[in-house]
Amino acid sequence: MNYLRTAMLLAGLTALFMGVGYLIGGASGAMIALVIAAATNLFTYWNSDRMVLRMYGAHQVDRASAPELIGLVAELAGRAGLPMPRVFVMDEAQPNAFATGRNPENAAVAVTTGLMQQLSREELAGVIAHELAHIKHHDTLLMTITATIAGAISMLAQFGMFFGGHRDNNSGPGIVGSILLMILAPIGAMLVQMAISRTREYAADNLGGRIVGQPMWLASALMKIEGAAHQVPNFEAERNPATAHMFIINPLSGQGMDNLFTTHPSTQNRIAALQQLAAELGAHAAPSLGANENYPPQGPWGRSSWRGPSRGPSRGPWG
């Protein structure tokens, strides 16, 4: 059902994109819009991972620089039946993570130093399993395509404002129609993009919980990241809000209009779904998520054990 819903939403986004092109330039406008979208998607297909990793200043690490992190990713990738992805670390205080890449053979997982510092090894395993689930579901490519089409719709709508409203015949939307198009088309595209993102987050939580074997590890991590994301700003994400959907938790502070249309489901709903999965799998539930004393900010991967990718984490109790 999730895949069917995602396919329907993606089809709706494509139809909206071509509809905007049709309103601006008729049948030829729709075809031009389709060609532009195809060219843009082709470029992002080959370059999206490099672009976003460079945007966030991510450094690739290996067994020499981060042996425990690489070992953890390798173990979970093996459980998921995936090839070993490239692993990157972002020098970012906000705990967060994302996956990128056009397919499982060219995938990458990126985590922040804040995530390494504030999560226990079990919680970190839950987060990495979630990102590997995105890779296994090919969500990294899907979300790139939806973001590209949504961006193209906004571009076309603005294009229609400058050109569609100056037509003397009835083939264009007119000045009032152009204004409405410029406002409503991007909102419609954003709503569809959010619906796709939310659907894929639930699916990745479910598969991630199955990969790691303990869904409550991921639930505990989500609670910690949610709390920190609103307290520790991610300035690069604030400058590039279109990438917010890539992270496991919305990295935007929400102080402005950023959270008016959130790309992520409610964290409490995600935790509830993971609790249900834990019961289904017979996994032992973690201590109450509301009891912060059971989950102190410092875990085995705390500040004292993480020194950055150049030195790698020291051997902790899980080493």
User: Which residues are annotated binding-site positions?
Assistant: 130, 134, 201
Residue 25 near residue 35, CB atoms below 8 Å: no
Question: How big, in percent rounded to 5, are the helix, strand and coil portions of the chain?
Answer: 65, 5, 30
90 has which bridge partners? 112
Please tell me the distance from the alpha carbon of residue 229 to that of residue 120, in angstroms, as a whole number: 17
Which residues are CB-contacts of 126 (< 8 A; sequence separation ≥ 6)? 208, 209, 212, 214, 215, 217, 218, 219, 220, 221
Give 164's DSSP letter.
Answer: G
Please tell me the distance from the alpha carbon of residue 251 to that of residue 236, in angstroms, as a whole number: 10
State both tokens at 47: 């370059």
Question: In degrees, to the nearest 5, what angle opens at C-alpha 226 toward C-alphas 223 and 230?
Answer: 150
Tally of CB atoms within 10 A around 11: 11
Residues catalogued as catalytic: 131
Point out the annotated binding site for Zn(2+): 130, 134, 201
State both tokens at 229: 């994301």
Residue 135 near residue 99, CB atoms below 8 Å: yes
Please tell me the distance from the alpha carbon of residue 35 to that of residue 28, in angstroms, as a whole number: 11
State both tokens at 235: 């300035």
Please tell me the distance from the alpha carbon of residue 182 to that of residue 187, in angstroms, as a whole number: 9
Please tell me the distance from the alpha carbon of residue 149 to that of residue 33, in angstroms, as a whole number: 10
Residue 203 near residue 1, CB atoms below 8 Å: no
